């Protein structure tokens, strides 16, 4: 970390190798779009480098700082785009059938899409907690460190988020 803060290219490359897959997964779970995920991941590390060069790097937790950059970029992305997206059937990507039952595969995809739409309706903090805890697999302590909140605050956010998700998912048509 000290070497990266001192602009050592090798140290920065190691940080990228360590954090890029995690940040990419975090962003993908919030956007569900591989192209947007790739673009936002690149922007995260570009902003990281610009901040480090300007002497505005992390103060306490590097992982918390870089996840905050990713979170802010996701918020900006959703602010700039309409909530509803429509794709003409002719423009839809080709999805191979795969090995499983097409009905189950489609049902699972629809359930995942419904969950992601419901997560998008949560507050930003609640959505971030759900994404980090359940989609990324971080512990409460790790999420607290990333979000710069107490473990009690994370537990409360998680509780309220789960209650909201139950309500939102229960309202949807089968």
Domain ranges of the chain: 1-81, 101-174
Give the 3-state DSSP-derived string for 47-105, with helices as H, strands as E and coil as C: HHHHHHHCCCCCCCCHHHHHHHHHHHHHHHHHHHCCCCCCCCHHHCCCCCCCCCCHHHH
Q: CA 135, CA 3: separation in Å to the nearest integer?
A: 31
pTM of the full predicted structure? 0.59
Q: Which CATH class is domain 1-81?
A: mainly alpha
Q: Hey, which CATH number is domain 101-174, 1.10.3720.10, 1.20.210.10, 3.40.50.720, 1.10.10.10?
A: 1.10.10.10
Over residues 80-124, the pLDDT tens digits come to 775 555 555 666 566 565 666 767 777 777 788 788 888 888 998
Over residues 10-24, the pLDDT tens digits come to 988 898 899 999 999
């Amino acid at each position: 970390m000290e070497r990266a803060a001192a602009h050592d290219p090798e140290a920065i490359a190691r940080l990228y190798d360590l954090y890029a897959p995690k940040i990419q997964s975090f962003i993908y779970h919030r956007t569900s779009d591989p192209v947007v995920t790739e673009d936002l991941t690149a922007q995260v590390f570009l902003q990281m480098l610009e901040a480090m060069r300007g002497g505005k790097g992390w103060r306490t937790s590097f992982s918390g700082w870089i996840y905050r950059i990713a979170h802010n970029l996701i918020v900006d992305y959703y602010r700039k785009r309409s909530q509803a997206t429509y794709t003409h059937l002719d423009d839809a990507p080709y999805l191979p059938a795969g090995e499983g039952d097409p009905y189950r595969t489609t049902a699972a995809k629809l359930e995942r899409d419904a969950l992601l739409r419901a997560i998008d309706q949560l507050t930003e903090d609640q959505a971030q907690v759900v994404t980090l805890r359940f989609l990324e697999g971080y512990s409460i302590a790790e999420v607290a460190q990333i979000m710069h909140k107490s473990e009690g605050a994370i537990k409360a956010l998680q509780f309220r988020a789960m209650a909201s998700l139950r309500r939102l998912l229960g309202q949807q048509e089968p």
